[in-house]
A and B are shown apart, each in its own frame.
Chain A
Amino acid sequence: MIIIVNLGCTAAWWLARSPSSIIKGLSVWIRTNRVAGSCAVRVLFFFNLAHAHFILKMAAVQGGLVDANEEKDIKSEPANDTWANNNANDGRLPSASPGASAAAGAPEDQQTLLAVLQFLRKNKLTESVEILRREAGLPEDSLESKGADSSGAGSGGAAAAAGEDQPDVNVVLSAYSQQGDPVLYPVYYSGLKRFIETVLDCHRAELSQVFYPLFVHMYLELVYNNHESEAKAFFEKFCGDQECYYGDDLRILSSLSKREHMRGNETLLDFRTSKFVLRISRDSYQLLKRHLQERQNNQIWNIIQEHLYIDIFDGIPRSKGQIDAMSGSLAGEAKREANKAKVYYGLLKEPEIELPLDDEDEEAENEEGKPKKKKPKKDSMGSKSKKQDPNAPAQTRIPLPELKDSDKLDKIMYMKEATKKIRLGPDNLPSICFYSFLNAYQGLTAVDFTDDSSLIAGGFADSTVRVWSVTPKKLRKVKSAADLNLIDKESDDVLERIMDEKTASESKILHGHSGPVYGISFSPDRNYLLSSSEDGTIRLWSLLTFTCLVGYKGHNYPVWDTQFSPHGYYFISGGHDRVARLWATDHYQPLRMFSGHLADITCTRFHPNSNYVATGSSDRTIRLWDVLNGNCVRIFTGHKGPIHTLAFSPNGKFLASGATDGRVLLWDIGHGLMIGELKGHTDTVYSLRFSRDGEILASGSMDNTVRLWDATKAFDDLETDDFTAATGHIHLQDNSQELLLGTYMTKSTPVIHLHFTRRNLLLAAGAYNP
């Protein structure tokens, strides 16, 4: 079963990748799983059979696509650039017939295949090599002669590198083969700069986008071709022109001055393997193209063709403000197609649970003099949940765990509490209760509350996880097995009897991790706790026995965040290895791997309907993934720093994100648009939370403040006409000041977690730093 699931998800994963990233992915795979033991390797064998097929299919599809593109000639993509082109199809399933043979692919594809084969062989996966080779219809000696082959296919610079080490991978990755006169680089660049400065105002902003990627690639080309001093001069001359929000990347770039440095530098690898995406209007693009052709400026033209993906749209060029709002990510903006897939953002139908009329409760109400006001409310709630949201996914789109009796009880509790919920609004701000962690010298790194706000868990840099009860009910362990035998299993209060009173305490410490705990999450039923750590594992803890149940291994690098699905059972994790993994608590292998981010995944969050997960990353993008098929269905760009927190609105329509740049951005999931920008924080925003009804957005930050924002207004003011939706060009008003409802300073306590109780009381948590 496990293996089948694995096959499914990995297959989907592979499908979504272009061949060049397959190499990368494979190496990640091998790297991460070699340690995991023989079992993983066996699994690898299994799906190798399958994915070899997929690789072939991909090759075929590419062949087909190239033809189509050439006919359309909209993007004026060069014929030889099939890989990244395929990147654009991230969400699309291959529709071309798999019948076409690999031989139909371009010669580069064959070369890719050879590289894949070589890679597999190097990792001693002989069986896979054999099968892949057979299916590709390659002669047996093709591998033997590949050294010569590849150096022949790759050009000058690459061949030299090929001899040194890992020739196969190098050939695939070496993109800076052509070489111009290094002295001319600054001339070319400043020529283009002059040209762009002289064009009409309306085009200038758009064309200026070209500067940064061009600058980076020209610099890398110089470095790659060992023109160290020229590269340095080039960098110093032009780095001041770049937009300030690329500062972090430029700093990394500046430290790199040797070809050897390029290998192994992940930031650069991203630059070279993925294309930088720019959105430019047709008019502006024509202008640029004409200029470059007139000047015969091949150097720049080549870079634009090879390393840039220009997403051309019809209509008026965008303004500087519009561009700035969307740019800033590591690899440019998201392509428009990337956000076109349909997202079922609606909520799942709530299971119908009869609300038992609690007599005592009713009486109490009567005494208070509010006789039957509750009744109609309950009815309205019931009817609301009965309606099927047209945007909601099918109830069974992904299998969800069945409700247990205890879950039903909890639901009832929830509904009861919900009737007592305070309606919030600009005139009715929530009260905030702040939980300060005192004496947390070791460093508080993560906090989570249970949904019913009865427990708090804290993750610490000293590898411990601590759980507190914030209600008078103390934390108790289950009795030992021997004692459990003595209990009368038929008694009514058996659940009470199994608890060991002697162990009752207000807090419990969970030891097990061997590195700082960065992510923490309670299961919705409050029986489990997840924690992710620097040691690369995610641990599942039982809150009945306060012991570790499972250690999920797979990331092998620090796991920055993890979260339980709102329906339990599933959970998502993401970390330094740039892959988000979807797990089920009863599987020790991930069910899905979401790969596509170009840098660490810093935060992960489940959509309220459990069908989607959102991941934020240090590459300054947010991606939304479909749990069912592993596709990336949305890419949001606009943040200028690593994203550290995400929050879905309770109705599932909107997403809020906070980053180190101190801004909070709001996104419309259905349309795939940025719809708001909340400025005010002066440091990293570490936590965001919508109130239970979604009227208020609370944000907590490193700058020691909690801020409340008018979410209703932010979403109401929205004008999403068809045009904006179609082009994705938004006009953001600067209305942060109007939307800000309150700022509450804490006393030198960074706010790292926020939580709305079921009655809309806001809980905040952080460690007091005297």
Chain B
Amino acid sequence: MAEERRQKQCSVVLPTESMKAMAESVGVGQLQEESCVALSEEVSYRIKEIAQDALKFMHHGKRRKLTTSDIDNALKLKNVEPLYGFQSQEFIPFRFASGGGRELHFYEEREVDLSDIINTPLPRVPLDVSLKAHWLSIEGVQPSIPENPPPAPKEQQKAESTEPLKVVKPGQEEDATIQGKSQGATAADGKGKEKGLIRLKPRSTHELSVEQQLYYKEITEACVGSCEAKRAEALQSIATDPGLYQMLPRFSTFISEGVRVNVVQNNLALLIYLMRMVKALMDNPTLYLEKYLHELIPAVVTCIVSKQLCLRPDVDNHWALRDFAARLMAQSCKTFSTTTNNIQSRITKTFTKSWLDDKTQWTTRYGCIAGLAELGPDVIKTLILPRLAVEGARIKAVTEGPVVSNIDKIGADHVQSLLLKHCASVIAKIRPQPDNVEQYRTDFGYLGPMLCSHVMKARTQAALQAQQVNRTTLTITQLPHPDVPSAGDPVAAIPPGNKVHCHGNKCRSRLNSAGHHPQLLSVSFTKLESDGFCQNPFFGCLVAEVPEEHQSKEGFTVVGYALYFHTYSTWKGRSLYLEDLYVMEEFRGIGIGKGLMGKVAEVAKKKQCVRLQLSVLNWNTSTRDFYAAKGAQDLTEREGWHLIRFDGENLDNLANDAPSD
């Protein structure tokens, strides 16, 4: 291969046509073929020579990318005047055109309106070089801080758990594992063993450093403590901190033990907290939980199907917990199920078995159905739909038959609405129109008529959405759907928003991994959900969607969002505050950000706001330039505004000082 390439390299010569074209451009009309050949060979040779020299400058500039300045310097070496005016920050691609029997590659030169240039505000002065120190290693162990890369990258954790034999190979990965796992002494142990023929992975005791122990204690206490703000912070930390790898076994034991104890004690609140911890762990982009599923899955399943989760099953909303846990279960099935561990099929079997059992209580029944339903439309289609009639009969027996107990009645109600919710959308997809109530009754029995109306509703909704998507390639939708109910329910289901939020979290964690201010992230995903989609939402959100054929690499169609809320100026009146504007990296530069901005502005106008405000971080120059180019004023620069904040203890103190009324 390499040889072939080399041979190709040596024969690359500029085409003679270019010589002719260049000759024409300087006024030499008739250039003979021979001279063209000679010229092109000479020019090719010289260009290669210059490229060789330019490489030297690149190496000494300690870069991997050859720049135009390298070429300039190489030209200077040869006593040739450098090419001026070719330093462009942007990438100017070659355009291709053919016609008249000639093929042309050219730069597309944009027409620039001079007044535009004059009127645009001056670009911001780049930040000065600064020096920042951090610990890369402390006595041979790399501390897990945001300045360092995560100790064991997720891919490696994944490889380790799915293909344990492959991982132990000499080289970089192995070293990283050992370092990631053990303290200095055990690292040395590991090295010693490697010498042997059989490479055994050192059996290191996972000793936590004092700081880590402290962290673990704080986090677990906050997670199950009474202060919601602290809990949110702790969960946020679990969901984003890159250095939790070593504490993972502790966390998973904590959760499984906690669930075991609290189920017995019917402590609903604690169970919810623990499930939120599981969620946070799963959200952490640097962790791969496969190894700890044996502890986590039983805990989650318990929360789904347990007979009793709370002291007062008739009043407490344990259904929400079951839903939430079911969603967690579905998520872990999706991420971790492989042909070897068969998680999904094992889970499905468990659920179906207890559902089919006649003696099963309504609560468990609800959990089983929720667990199955969350696994996706395929599971609903093959496992739930065929049993709708049977289940309907059972519900009918409870609701219309002699009153057994209030609890059973509530249970049956919930199962009914759950079945309707999940099955309607699936049936809408697989069943041809028209929807006939009688037909439904014969097919699904007692639940038939209700299903029918739900399916019809689902159909109209789907049609509406399809229209929107078809109209434009890029759809910007307002998130808080009017039909999203259930204020006060901590884990309410929000179909379209859900995706965005996962995604929003992901964006944030991506930002985080780029090394900027992870402490900025303090709102957990569930909180976002409950704050934005209640009766009086704290914020509004617009999302940008692309049609499925343009979806992102990870398969998202929602590729950007803008999050805003209302503020009020005593001087000017209503105003809008843009909290977040995010577009995935792949989709930047094609006008999505502009579109979102425009939509937000439209919302502002519609609501008769006089201005749109936002704040942006100092280092984020590209975004600042973007806003500046749109004509935004920099208040910090112009009027010297400072952003002031009370939080945590200070906020508490302030609130405590409030005069009693």
- Which residue numbers of A lie inside 8 Å of B, CB to CB? 232, 235-236, 239-240, 244, 247, 250-252, 254-258, 260-261, 265, 426-445, 456, 458, 460-461, 466, 468, 470, 507, 515-516, 518, 534, 557-558, 560, 576, 600, 602, 618, 642, 644, 660, 680, 682-684, 686, 702, 705-706, 708, 737-738, 740-747, 750, 752, 764, 767-768, 770
Known contacts A434-B134, A443-B63: A428-B139 contact under CB 8 Å: yes
Could you mark each residue 165-183 of chain B with 1 if its beta carbon is under 8 Å from any beta carbon of chain A, else 0? 0000010100110010000
Is B59 within 8 A of A644, CB to CB? Answer: yes
Q: Taking the nearest CB of chain B, how far is it from the CB of A62, in angstroms?
A: 35
Is B133 within 8 A of A557, CB to CB? Answer: no
Alpha-carbon separation in the docked complex, A557 to B60 (Å): 14
List B contacts of A660 (CB < 8 A): 59
Is B129 within 8 A of A746, CB to CB? Answer: no
Is B137 within 8 A of A742, CB to CB? Answer: yes
Is A439 within 8 A of B188, CB to CB? Answer: no
Is A434 within 8 A of B135, CB to CB? Answer: yes
Task: Judge if B161 is at the interface, Cβ distance under 8 Å.
Answer: no
Alpha-carbon separation in the docked complex, A436 to B172 (Å): 23
Is B45 within 8 A of A261, CB to CB? Answer: yes
Interface pairs (11), CB distance under 8 Å = A236-B10, A239-B7, A247-B2, A254-B10, A437-B131, A642-B59, A740-B175, A742-B140, A747-B149, A750-B62, A770-B515
List A contacts of B354 (CB < 8 A): none
Could you mark each residue 1-22 of chain B with 1 if its beta carbon is under 8 Å from any beta carbon of chain A, else 0? 0110011011100000000000
List A contacts of B176 (CB < 8 A): 743, 745
Task: Judge if B478 is at the interface, Cβ distance under 8 Å.
Answer: no
Is B133 within 8 A of A435, CB to CB? Answer: yes
Which among A252, A255, A426, A444 has the highest number of chain B CB atoms within 10 Å? A255
Of A255, A444, A740, A768, which one neighbours B45 at CB under 8 angstroms?
A255
Is B62 within 8 A of A445, CB to CB? Answer: yes
Task: Judge if B155 is at the interface, Cβ distance under 8 Å.
Answer: no
Q: Taking the nearest CB of chain A, how far is it from the CB of B350, in angstroms?
A: 42
Question: Chain A interface: which of B48-56, B458-466, B592-600?
Answer: B48-56
Alpha-carbon separation in the docked complex, A745 to B149 (Å): 7
List A contacts of B111 (CB < 8 A): none
List A contacts of B64 (CB < 8 A): 683, 702
List A contacts of B131 (CB < 8 A): 435-438, 456, 468, 470, 507
Is B136 within 8 A of A255, CB to CB? Answer: no
List A contacts of B127 (CB < 8 A): 438-439
Is B129 within 8 A of A744, CB to CB? Answer: no
Is B175 within 8 A of A743, CB to CB? Answer: yes
List B contacts of A261 (CB < 8 A): 45
Is B61 within 8 A of A461, CB to CB? Answer: yes
Q: Can you list the 10 inter-chain pairs with the closest CB atoms, starting with the nearest?
A: A254-B10, A429-B140, A240-B3, A432-B136, A434-B136, A255-B48, A432-B137, A439-B127, A743-B175, A431-B138
Is B139 within 8 A of A746, CB to CB? Answer: no
Can you name 4 extra interface pairs (CB under 8 A) apart from A438-B129, A444-B62, A468-B131? A240-B3, A258-B45, A430-B140, A747-B149
Alpha-carbon separation in the docked complex, A747 to B153 (Å): 12
Alpha-carbon separation in the docked complex, A558 to B72 (Å): 13
Is A439 within 8 A of B56, CB to CB? Answer: no
Known contacts A251-B9, A429-B140, A431-B138: A747-B60 contact under CB 8 Å: no
Is B134 within 8 A of A602, CB to CB? Answer: no
Of B41, B48, B148, which one neighbours A746 at CB under 8 angstroms?
B148
Known contacts A432-B135, A737-B194: A239-B3 contact under CB 8 Å: yes
Alpha-carbon separation in the docked complex, A744 to B178 (Å): 12
Task: Judge if B514 is at the interface, Cβ distance under 8 Å.
Answer: yes
Could you mark each residue 68-105 of chain B with 1 if its beta carbon is under 8 Å from any beta carbon of chain A, else 0? 01000100110000000000000000000000000000
Q: Taking the nearest CB of chain A, how far is it from the CB of B84, in angstroms?
A: 16
Alpha-carbon separation in the docked complex, A444 to B130 (Å): 12
Q: Taking the nearest CB of chain A, how far is it from the CB of B167, in angstroms?
A: 16
Q: Taking the nearest CB of chain A, how far is it from the CB of B56, in angstroms?
A: 6
Q: Taking the nearest CB of chain B, how far is it from the CB of A537, in angstroms?
A: 14
Task: Judge if B258 is at the interface, Cβ distance under 8 Å.
Answer: no
Task: Judge if B147 is at the interface, Cβ distance under 8 Å.
Answer: yes
Q: Taking the nearest CB of chain B, how far is it from the CB of A469, in angstroms?
A: 10
List B contacts of A770 (CB < 8 A): 514-515
Interface residues of B in 120-158 (CB under 8 A from A): 126-140, 142, 147-149
Could you mark each residue 390-417 of chain B with 1 if its beta carbon is under 8 Å from any beta carbon of chain A, else 0? 0000000000000000000000000000
List A contacts of B2 (CB < 8 A): 244, 247
Alpha-carbon separation in the docked complex, A744 to B144 (Å): 12
Alpha-carbon separation in the docked complex, A745 to B152 (Å): 11
Alpha-carbon separation in the docked complex, A248 to B142 (Å): 37
Could you mark each residue 481-522 of chain B with 1 if its beta carbon is under 8 Å from any beta carbon of chain A, else 0? 000000000000000000000000000000000110000000
Task: Judge if B195 is at the interface, Cβ distance under 8 Å.
Answer: yes
**CB-nearest residue of chain A to B127:** A439
List B contacts of A439 (CB < 8 A): 126-130, 619
